[in-house]
Amino acid sequence: MAEPFHCDVNSSLFMGYLGNCMLNAADFHSNERGIGVTYLNTIKKTWVISRLAIELNRMPKSYEDFYLETWTDRILRFFSSRNYAITDNDNNVYGYAKSIWAMINTETRQPVDLLQVRDSIITKYVEADYNCPIDKPSRVIMSDKAKYICTIDTHYSDLDLNGHVNSIRYIDHVLDLFNLDWHRSHTIKRFEIAYVVESHYGDKLNFYSEDIVPGETCIKITKTELNTGKDVEVCRCKLRYINN
């Protein structure tokens, strides 16, 4: 259920909450198939999310039930594609999501060939024909005209169990760039995010925005590294929205 204190000022489930439900679902689904982080940590490997696109007919409202279904529809050597469907009690669709994941070696941070893990066990769980009718996460293209918006510090509450800034937390921070009037008068139809590198506690996050066409805004996040002072791209987002 979209419990009321996980909902926003419009009584809609927070997208960040939904996003963390998706990460949790991926975790359970892969662990139950023997290729989740519980096993991978024993062989010094882990999953990292590379891209995510969430597309919504509408967001669940407070007290509405929702179901989150996930499946893998495609495996390449270095990438796995995971889909999501968000539905209600009557199987009406709230929305879909698509995500791309890579497996890395936790010591070298290098990509791992998925087909080399547990005798390609992952290929047994591919459901290619189960429909997820939204566009794949695309490249988010921005010009050099993106406008600097603000810089924020990273805090304890930004971190996940790995000590990285939680992948979904960027969504919260991006949505916080838009003011309350905007949130009251707009509905987000699609949110996509392409991850470049992880950020850590102490990094400063810098936000740059570019309006592409009416109803579409791209946001680039860079980090100023605590130790080096270097400015490095962390991720890029593209939001598509409508006026209510």
User: What are the residues binding a copy of itself (CB under 8 A)?
Assistant: 3-11, 14, 16, 20, 23-24, 27, 62, 155-157, 159-163, 166, 168, 172, 175-176, 178-180, 183, 201-202
Which of 15, 102 has the CB closer to a copy of itself? 15
Which of 75, 99 has the CB closer to a copy of itself? 99
Torsion of the alpha carbons at 243, 67, 7 and 61, rounded to the nearest 10? 50
Q: Is 229 left (phi over 0), alpha (psi -120 to 50) or beta?
A: left
Least Cβ distance, residue 223 to a copy of itself (angstroms): 16
Least Cβ distance, residue 222 to a copy of itself (angstroms): 20
DSSP-assigned letters across all residues of 82-107: EEEEEE-TT--EEEEEEEEEEEEETT
Least Cβ distance, residue 215 to a copy of itself (angstroms): 19
CA distances from 40 to 103, 110, 149, 188, 227 (A): 9, 14, 39, 35, 30
Query: What is the rounded distance in angstroms from the CA atom of residue 24 to the CA atom of residue 128?
Result: 22
Which of 62, 87 has the CB closer to a copy of itself? 62
Which of 61, 189 has the CB closer to a copy of itself? 61
Which of 75, 103 has the CB closer to a copy of itself? 103
CA distances from 174 to 150, 198, 209, 218, 233 (A): 11, 16, 10, 10, 15
Least Cβ distance, residue 135 to a copy of itself (angstroms): 25
Which of 9, 213 has the CB closer to a copy of itself? 9
Both tokens of residue 238?
A: 């593209």
Decide if 63 contacts 2 (C-beta within 8 A): yes
- Could you tell me how many residues make up the chain? 244
Least Cβ distance, residue 72 to a copy of itself (angstroms): 19
Least Cβ distance, residue 158 to a copy of itself (angstroms): 8
Of 174, 148, 154, the C-alpha closest to 225 is 154
* Helical (H) or strand (E) element with 195: strand 186-195
